[in-house]
């Protein structure tokens, strides 16, 4: 194995359906429906995907949705703001756990 | 010296002294770039390895032979002179391009042909066509011949002192303004067209709105044309139009009638940019992978005649910029234009045509699929 991440994996992603075509088809059909224009526009969904991609730290998704956001008409500033939403939630999620720490400190301390 | 040549001197002096219009780039011609040669552009495109599902492909492999439908659009490119120098320009237009401007003789031949053609629309482009000394003669002739007239406008040209009053003049003649604006927000627009272009474009659109353009009146139609500021395809036209409406109205109080979304063609300055930025192979690959058979039927080359500044004829403005002349037995010049043999011909295609068939398709009238 050459390593853990390979850009070719993204290009070849569709091959994941080879072994279980029925499950693969269900997943990719569902995926396509999720990202279609709906109550949210395809551009808004792409910006959410970009933010989530950073939160789950998936390099494939970051590449894919950086391109997709640009193609859907989002600009650098909008994409960077979306990224900060992920950053704020990740940071906030850590910080809000501090409330548990506070409770323990207050309970155990004098 | 004729009228055009004399007045052209004054126009180019004005452009040299114009400190107001931002410029993003210099022309390939001025930089003496190898890509200023169309043969070199075709060579560079031909050298890109193109394949789909592991098989080598050419445009003709996927699209087959293209045949005309009806002649609807008579498109005249009056020359490469422009007050701007955008990074993606497929014309290599700019303020220094006085070498490629339609002469009086050709203007008169074009006017005569407009009087004879069955096409319902005369589409005037450039460069910035409004800088041509006989631009108004051409528009007037098309209006007199009862044609719908489209002016392909870069917006900033409307703010030049020499064009004061032009918007009202257009409005009186029901000329449709087809205005380039890459994006509804500042960053991408300025990146492609020059720092400050977005603000000047907004200013020009305010003037157009004030003259009744972009408010649903079919006699004063303002069409915006967007193209990507980078190596990616255009967004979905319908969705983008809704988002643009909201954004331009909310942020700037501006309205427009419709939006065309185009792809960038891998020729001229965009080809240069693709090469310089290391995006050429990936972009061509993207165009080929995104080939959409459904986009072929509505391609502009099937209902358009494209006339070059020197009177030569082409299937479209992109073929014109690559010197790929129309295949007609009488020869390809406006002085001998014969509409019957226009119908009988096959359309000349090459690799750049993948730009028009990618994704939702792309033509002078927007997306085609």
How confident is the model over B14-53, as pLDDT tens digits? Answer: 998 898 899 989 999 999 999 999 999 999 999 999 998 8
Reply yes or no on whether the pLDDT at B332 is more than 70: yes
Chain B (193-232) residues lying within 8 Å, Cβ to Cβ, of chain A? 226, 228, 230, 232
Cβ-contact B226, B189 below 8 angstroms: no
Complex-level ipTM: 0.76
Give, as one character, the DSSP assignment of residue B159: G
**Residue B295: cis peptide before it, omega within 30 degrees of 0:** no
Per-residue pLDDT tens digits for B152-199: 999 999 999 999 999 999 999 999 999 999 999 999 999 999 999 999
Q: What is the dihedral of CA A100, A101, A106, A107, to 10 degrees?
A: 70
CA atoms A48, A51, A57, A61: torsion sign: positive
Q: What is the distance between the alpha carbons of residues B280 and B45, in angstroms, rounded to a whole number?
A: 9
Q: Measured between beta carbons, which residues in chain A are less than 8 angstroms from residue B232?
A: 67, 70-71
- pLDDT band for B111, please (50, 70, 90 cuts): very high
Instruction: Say what the pTM is.
Output: 0.91
Average pLDDT, integer, range B198-215: 98
User: CB–CB of A71 and B228 under 8 A?
Assistant: yes
The pLDDT value recorded for residue A20 is 96
Report chain B's mean pLDDT, rounded to a whole number. Answer: 95
Average pLDDT over residues A82-88: 98
Residue B1 scores a pLDDT above 60: no
B314 beta partners: B306, B325
Q: Residue B54: pLDDT band by 50, 70, 90 thresholds?
A: confident
Query: B91-103: buried (b, 16+ CB within 10 Å) or exposed (e) per residue?
Result: bbbbbbbbebbbb
- In this predicted structure, what is the pLDDT of residue A38? 92
Whether B243 and A76 lie within 8 Å, measured CB to CB: no
Sheet holding B176-180, edge to edge: B258-261, B222-226, B176-180, B148-153, B121-125, B73-77, B304-307, B313-314
Mean pLDDT of B95-104: 96
| C-alpha span between A28 and B128 (Å, rounded) | 46
The pLDDT value recorded for residue B337 is 93
A77: pLDDT strictly greater than 70: yes
Give the C-alpha separation, B269 to B28, whole Å.
7
Per-residue pLDDT of B251-294, as tens digits, reads: 999 999 999 999 999 999 999 999 999 999 999 999 999 999 99
CA distance B246 to B179: 18
The predicted model gives B204-215 an average pLDDT of 98
Q: Taking the alpha carbons of B309, B312, B317, B323 in that order, is the dihedral positive or negative?
A: negative
Helices A42-55, A59-71: axis angle to 10 degrees equals: 160
**pLDDT grade, residue A1 (50/70/90)?**
low
- Contact (Cβ atoms closer than 8 angstroms) between residue B23 and residue B194: yes
Q: What is the pLDDT, as a whole number, of residue B369?
A: 83
Domains of chain A, residue spans: 13-108
Task: Report, as an integer, the average pLDDT of B117-142.
Answer: 97
Interface contact B52, partner A, CB < 8 A: no
Nearest to A42 among B185, B233, B236 (CB): B236
- At residue B112, the 3 state secondary structure works out as helix
Mean pLDDT of B237-245: 94
User: What is the average per-residue pLDDT within A33-41?
Assistant: 93
B24 vs B121, which has greater pLDDT? B121
Per-residue pLDDT band for A11 (boundaries 50, 70, 90) equals confident
Q: Do A76 and B187 touch (CB under 8 A)?
A: yes
The nearest CA of chain B is from the CA of A28 a distance in Å of: 18
Whether B104 contacts B2, CB under 8 Å: yes
What confidence score (pLDDT) does residue B173 get?
A: 98
Half-sphere exposure of B343 (CA within 13 A, CB side): 10
Q: What is the mean pLDDT of residues B107-124?
A: 97
Closest-CA distance, B233 to chain A, in angstroms, reads 6
Separation of alpha carbons B35 and B359, rounded Å? 27
- Which phi and psi (to 5°) does residue B305 adopt? -110, 135
Task: Kindly indicate the confidence band of residue B104, based on its pLDDT and cuts at 50, 70 and 90.
Answer: very high
pLDDT band at residue B358 using 50, 70 and 90 as cut-offs? very high
A73 and B242 within 8 Å at the Cβ level: the answer is no
Tell me whether residues A75 and B188 touch, CB distance under 8 A: yes
The alpha helices in B146-196, defined as continuous H runs, are: 166-172, 186-193
Q: Which of B210, B314, B349, B315 is nearest to B202 (CA)?
A: B210
Across the range B75-101, mean pLDDT stands at 97
A13-108: what CATH class? Answer: mainly alpha
* Whole-Å CA distances, B140 to B71, B111, B170, B174: 21, 10, 10, 11
Task: Count Cβ–Cβ pairs < 8 Å, chain A vs chain B.
Answer: 36
All domains of chain B in start order, with CATH? 3-357 (3.20.20)
Q: Both ends of chain B: CA-CA distance in Å?
A: 48
> What percentage of chain A has pLDDT greater than the value 70?
99
End-to-end CA distance of chain A: 56
């Amino acid at each position: 194995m050459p390593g853990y991440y390979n850009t070719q994996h993204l290009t070849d992603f569709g091959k994941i359906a080879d072994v279980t075509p029925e499950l693969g088809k269900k997943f990719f059909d569902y995926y396509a429906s999720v990202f279609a224009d709906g109550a949210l526009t395809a551009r808004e969904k792409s910006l959410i995907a970009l933010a989530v991609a950073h939160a789950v730290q998936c390099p494939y998704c970051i590449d894919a949705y950086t391109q997709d956001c640009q193609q859907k008409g989002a600009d650098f500033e909008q994409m960077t703001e979306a990224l900060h939403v992920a950053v704020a939630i990740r940071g906030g999620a850590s910080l809000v756990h501090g409330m548990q720490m506070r409770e323990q400190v207050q309970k155990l301390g004098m | 010296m004729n009228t055009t040549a004399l007045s052209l001197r004054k126009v180019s002096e004005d452009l040299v002294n114009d400190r107001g219009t931002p410029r993003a780039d210099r022309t390939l011609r001025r930089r003496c770039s190898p890509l200023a040669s169309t043969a070199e552009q075709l060579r560079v495109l031909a050298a890109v390895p193109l394949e789909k599902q592991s098989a080598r492909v050419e445009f003709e492999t996927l699209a087959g032979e293209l045949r005309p439908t009806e002649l609807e659009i008579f498109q005249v490119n009056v020359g490469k002179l422009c007050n701007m120098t955008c990074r993606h320009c497929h014309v290599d237009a700019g303020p220094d391009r006085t070498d490629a401007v339609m002469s009086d003789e050709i203007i008169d031949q074009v006017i005569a042909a407009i009087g004879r053609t069955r096409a319902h629309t005369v589409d005037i482009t450039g460069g910035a066509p409004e800088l041509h000394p006989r631009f108004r003669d051409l528009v007037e002739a098309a209006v007199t011949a009862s044609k719908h007239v489209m002016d392909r406008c870069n917006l900033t040209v409307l703010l030049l002192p020499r064009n004061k009053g032009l918007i009202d003049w257009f409005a009186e003649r029901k000329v449709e303004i087809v205005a380039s604006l890459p994006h509804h927000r500042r960053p991408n627009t300025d990146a492609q067209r020059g720092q400050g272009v977005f603000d000047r474009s907004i200013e020009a659109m305010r003037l157009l709105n004030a003259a009744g353009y972009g408010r649903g009146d079919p006699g004063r139609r303002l069409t915006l044309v967007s193209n990507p500021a980078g190596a990616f395809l255009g967004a979905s036209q319908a969705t983008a139009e809704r988002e643009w409406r909201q954004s331009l109205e909310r942020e700037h109080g501006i309205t427009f009638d419709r939006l065309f979304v185009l792809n960038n063609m891998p020729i001229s300055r965009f080809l240069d940019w693709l090469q310089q930025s290391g995006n050429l192979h990936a972009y061509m690959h993207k165009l080929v992978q995104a080939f959409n058979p459904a986009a072929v039927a509505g391609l502009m080359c099937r209902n358009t005649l494209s006339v070059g500044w020197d009177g030569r004829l082409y299937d479209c403005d992109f073929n014109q910029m690559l010197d790929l002349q129309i295949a007609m037995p009488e020869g390809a010049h406006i002085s001998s234009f014969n509409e019957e043999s226009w119908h009988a011909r096959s359309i000349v295609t090459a690799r750049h045509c993948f730009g028009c068939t990618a994704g939702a398709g792309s033509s002078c009238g927007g997306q085609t699929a």
